[in-house]
């Protein structure tokens, strides 16, 4: 039985496909008319690293990000995050940068993150070049990984989650992260829990 638990979160503008990515990865399901508010608050799986079992707990929002009302409890004790944007809406990539900033402020500068550029199946090729330079620049500067995904076809969904989980497990093992049974690593929280106001407006 695994009893060491690692918390991961998913973040991004409303409607970019966060819940759909989780549903595709954890349940292999896709619903074209997915509603943002009706799903589980987290998904779990067991992953092995160096012969040790870890319980991965992936938290989903209940759509509060659309109203700038995501509470700091959502971020607290997370070790990693999947940042999602819609490749068809370049402005949603700006929110990825904002969330990275927020994560670093609340969780700490060592937060691990991977980016998913989602809804690849809908991509208008003429947009591709226009957006890719700012994305490539950011990814190079942050030295982070990015995957272009489609929840509809399933393309790269397993890859993006498996990569994030792999990086997180390596980090947790190599840094002797203290993990507790109830869902989260121990780390220094710079600030006490307070509501997080997202920059800008959706
Ligand atoms: P969230 O608010 O970020 O959790 O977004 P949802 O997962 O609720 O998705 C919003 C809408 O986009 C839903 O209608 C989904 O079916 C749709 N959607 C999500 N991912 C994809 C994708 O990769 N391709 C297409 N075509 N639609 C998607
Ligand atoms: Mg959602």
- 125-155 tens-digit pLDDT: 776 666 788 899 999 999 999 999 999 999 9
Q: What is the largest CA-CA distance in the chain?
A: 50
Would residue 77 count as lying in a domain? Answer: yes
Is there an atom of ligand 1 within 6 Å of 36 CB? Answer: yes
Residue 73, pLDDT score? 87
| Cα–Cα distance, 80 to 132 (Å, whole number) | 24
Would residue 80 count as lying in a domain? Answer: yes
Quote the pTM value. Answer: 0.86
Q: Decide: 147 and 117 in contact? Cβ < 8 Å.
A: yes
Question: Whose atoms come closest to the Cα of 13: which ligand?
Answer: 1
What mean pLDDT is predicted for residues 29-45?
A: 76
Tokens 């997180």 sit on residue: 168
The dihedral over CA atoms of 8, 27, 95, 165, expressed in degrees to the nearest 10, equals: 30
Is there an atom of ligand 1 within 6 Å of 117 CB? Answer: no
Is residue 35's pLDDT more than 70? no
| Cα–Cα distance, 120 to 98 (Å, whole number) | 22
Q: Of ligand 1's atoms, which has the minimum distance to the CA of residue 66?
A: 2
Question: Whose atoms come closest to the Cα of 160: which ligand?
Answer: 1
Helix (H, G, I), strand (E, B) or coil at 30: coil
Domain tally, the chain: 1
Would residue 195 count as lying in a domain? Answer: no
Question: Whose atoms come closest to the Cα of 17: which ligand?
Answer: 1
Distance 64 CA to ligand 1 centre (A): 16
| Cα–Cα distance, 17 to 57 (Å, whole number) | 19
- Please give the mean pLDDT across all residues of the chain: 83
Nearest CA owner, ligand 1 atom 16: 32
What CATH code is carried by the domain that includes residue 50?
Answer: 3.40.50.300
Q: Of ligand 1's atoms, which has the minimum distance to the CA of residue 12?
A: 3
Would residue 199 count as lying in a domain? Answer: no
Which strands sit side by side in the sheet containing 112-118, from one edge to the other? 42-49, 52-59, 5-12, 78-86, 112-118, 145-148
Is there an atom of ligand 1 within 6 Å of 38 CB? Answer: no
Backbone angles phi, psi at 136, to 5 degrees: -60, -40
Range of the domain at 57: 5-189
């Amino acid at each position: 039985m695994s009893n060491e638990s690692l918390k991961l979160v998913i973040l991004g503008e409303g409607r970019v496909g966060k819940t759909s990515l989780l549903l595709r990865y954890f349940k292999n399901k896709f619903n074209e008319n997915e509603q943002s508010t009706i799903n589980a608050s987290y998904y779990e799986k067991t992953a092995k690293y160096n012969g040790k079992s870890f319980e991965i707990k992936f938290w989903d929002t209940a759509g509060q990000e659309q109203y700038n009302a995501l509470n700091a409890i959502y971020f607290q004790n997370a070790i990693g995050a999947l940042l999602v944007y819609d490749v068809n809406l370049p402005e949603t990539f700006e929110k990825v940068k904002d969330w990275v900033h927020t994560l670093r402020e609340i969780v700490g500068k060592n937060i691990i993150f991977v980016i998913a550029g989602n809804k690849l199946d809908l991509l208008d090729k003429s947009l591709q070049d226009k957006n890719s330079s700012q994305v490539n620049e950011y990814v190079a500067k942050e030295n982070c990984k990015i995957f272009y995904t489609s929840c509809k076809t399933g393309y790269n969904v397993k890859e993006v989650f498996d990569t994030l989980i792999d990086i997180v497990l390596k980090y947790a093992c190599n840094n002797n992260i203290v993990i507790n049974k109830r869902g989260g690593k121990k780390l220094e929280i710079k600030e006490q829990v307070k509501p997080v106001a997202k920059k800008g407006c959706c």
